[in-house]
């Protein structure tokens, strides 16, 4: 049949590698250039946001129309590059404004993608030239595809479980179960299917019916995973007992409630002594303040409970380490905003904390391992450390 064109496995693999890896390279390239550009912008939120929007659109159209690779994957890679490397380029209020702006854009884009996909699917099913008339088993294939996707996730996670368990974060079987069940498909898959649908209108390699089936099956899988998997994920977490707070988190929560209760009682006492409010019936007022009902009787400080030598073990030392490292990272952010360290230095420090956070479950608290490779001392420092020179002189020279 002259309407069909066959491709070899080598051609298909080469095409997929070019489209995917080329998109990753293009995203990293645009991210690197924009990151260096952001280094010349100081505390100008509008220009920073405008630059990120312009770079995103430029990266998409350059990849999709110019280089003939996936523009969606390019923008995804660009966003991942910003999150991993360029996060220190946005400081203070600029970072918060950027986050809120892209959160709003993401919400609008997701809404438009879902609406557009629904319109395309409804038109293909209910339109006069219904594509499903020629594919009577499409609904059955959709259910079968959903089951196969769940099975494929089980196979992939199960085959990689030994590596995920012993390396990296140390994935356990409960987390692997949630990883399998909560694998939702959303706006990215729908946008890719819409790209295929658009290309099928003019492409000689794929007809319009096949382009519609791409959107139909992708939209159906998204719907099923959101309705079935999404609505039952909380039940799965409860069944696996993963929604319970650890002893350390409960202790911190109790301490927070204790402090908030103290502030509430202090504020209530100030109102009682306020001459401008007049002789109010404060016992009646107190009845309508539900948070003060728990203040009846003697309040016990959470840290006043009996403790034994194994208290640190019960509180889960990893939770304490995580909170300490988060405080260290917050201090680094403060130094960056004050201009005491550069963006490059801040990136190294942030990365060292991230690496230490990954290892809190298995190794003692230490973020020096991530910094050691980036700290270099001149060779003459070793010579100065000898006892030949006074300590004050060595300190002055260093």
Query: In this predicted structure, what is the pLDDT of residue 309?
Result: 46
The full set of domain ranges for the chain reads 1-91, 117-244, 247-313, 316-398
DSSP state of 98: H
Number of Cβ within 10 Å of residue 328's Cβ equals 17
Provide the pLDDT for residue 32. 92
Q: Which pLDDT score, from 0 to 100, does residue 246 have?
A: 67
> Above 70 in pLDDT, residue 394?
no
Task: Identify the residue with better confidence: 296 or 35.
Answer: 35
Instruction: Name all contacts of 299-304 with Cβ < 8 Å and 24+ positions apart.
Output: 299/258, 299/261, 299/262, 301/258, 302/251, 302/254, 302/255, 302/258, 303/255
pLDDT (tens digit per residue) in 154-208: 999 999 998 888 876 678 888 889 888 887 667 888 888 888 888 887 777 778 8
Give the mean pLDDT of 63-74: 85
Helices (H), the chain: 9-38, 45-61, 71-84, 93-126, 138-166, 173-181, 187-200, 208-224, 230-239, 247-272, 282-287, 311-314, 317-337, 343-358, 368-372, 380-384, 391-397
- Mean pLDDT lowest for which of 71-75, 160-164, 278-282, 329-333? 278-282
Listed in sequence order, the residues at least 6 apart from 294 whose beta carbon sits closer than 8 Å to its beta carbon are 261
Q: What's the pLDDT score for residue 1?
A: 44
The C-alpha angle 83, 84, 88, rounded to 5 degrees, equals 75
Q: Which residues contact 343 (CB under 8 A, 6 or more apart)?
A: 39, 88, 89, 336
For 57, 90, 121, the CA distances from 86, given in Å and listed in that order, are 18, 8, 39
Burial class of residue 162, CB neighbours in 10 A (0-12, 13-18, 19+): exposed
Q: What percent of the chain has pLDDT over 70?
A: 79
- Check residue 131 and give its pLDDT: 65
DSSP string, 99-151: HHHHHHHHHHHHHHHHHHHHHHHHHHHHSTT-GGGS-TTHHHHHHHHHHHHHH
Top pLDDT among 74 and 90 is at 74
Question: What does the mean pLDDT of the chain come to?
Answer: 79
Alpha carbon distance 258, 300 (integer Å): 8
Query: Got the DSSP string for 332-367?
Result: HHHHHHTTSS-HHHHHHHHHHHHHHHHTTTTS-S--
What average pLDDT score do residues 76-80 get?
A: 90
> Per-residue pLDDT tens for 46-60?
888 899 999 999 999
DSSP letter, residue 183: -
The DSSP secondary-structure symbol of 1 reads -
Residue with tokens 């409860």: 238
Burial of 366 (0-12, 13-18, 19+ CB in 10 A): middle
What mean pLDDT comes out for the span 324-344? Answer: 83
Is the pTM higher than 0.85? The answer reads: no
What is the arithmetic mean of pLDDT over 271-281?
69
Q: What pLDDT is recorded for position 4? A: 58
Lowest-confidence region among 86-95, 143-152, 220-229: 86-95
Distance CA 286, CA 265 (A): 10
């Amino acid at each position: 049949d002259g309407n069909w064109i066959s491709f070899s496995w080598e051609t298909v693999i080469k095409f997929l590698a070019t489209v995917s890896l080329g998109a990753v390279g293009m995203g990293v390239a645009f991210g690197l250039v924009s990151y260096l550009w952001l280094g010349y912008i100081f505390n100008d939120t509008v220009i920073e946001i405008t630059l990120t929007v312009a770079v995103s659109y430029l990266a998409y159209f350059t990849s999709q129309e110019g280089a003939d690779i996936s523009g969606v994957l390019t923008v995804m890679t660009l966003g991942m590059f910003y999150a991993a490397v360029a996060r220190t380029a946005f400081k203070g209020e600029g970072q918060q404004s950027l986050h809120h702006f892209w959160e709003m854009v993401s919400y609008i884009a997701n809404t438009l993608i879902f609406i557009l996909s629904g319109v395309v699917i409804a038109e293909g099913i209910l339109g006069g030239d219904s594509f499903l008339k020629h594919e009577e088993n499409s609904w059955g294939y959709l259910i079968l595809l959903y089951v196969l996707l769940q099975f494929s996730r089980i196979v992939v996670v199960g085959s990689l479980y030994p590596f995920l368990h012993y390396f990296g974060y140390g994935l356990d079987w409960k987390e692997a179960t949630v990883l399998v069940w909560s694998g939702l498909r959303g706006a990215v898959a729908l946008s890719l299917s819409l790209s295929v649908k658009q290309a099928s209108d003019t492409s000689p390699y794929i007809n319009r019916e096949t382009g519609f089936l791409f959107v139909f099956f992708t939209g159906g899988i998204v719907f099923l995973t959101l309705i079935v998997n999404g609505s039952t994920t909380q039940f799965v977490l409860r069944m696996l007992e993963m929604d319970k707070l650890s002893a350390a988190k409960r202790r911190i929560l109790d301490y927070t409630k204790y402090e908030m209760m103290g502030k509430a009682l202090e504020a209530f006492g100030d109102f009682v002594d306020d001459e401008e409010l007049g002789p109010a019936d404060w016992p009646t007022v107190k009845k309508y303040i539900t948070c003060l009902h728990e203040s009846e009787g003697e309040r016990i400080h959470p840290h006043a409970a009996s403790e034994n030598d194994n208290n640190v073990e019960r509180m889960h030392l990893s939770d304490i380490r995580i909170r300490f490292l988060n405080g260290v990272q917050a201090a680094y952010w403060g130094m960056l905003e004050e201009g005491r360290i550069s963006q490059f230095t801040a990136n190294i420090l942030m990365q060292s904390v991230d690496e230490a956070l990954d290892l809190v479950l298995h190794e003692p608290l230490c973020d020096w391992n991530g910094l050691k490779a980036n700290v270099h001392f001149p060779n003459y420092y070793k010579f100065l450390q000898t006892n030949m020179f006074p300590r004050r002189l060595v300190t002055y020279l260093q």
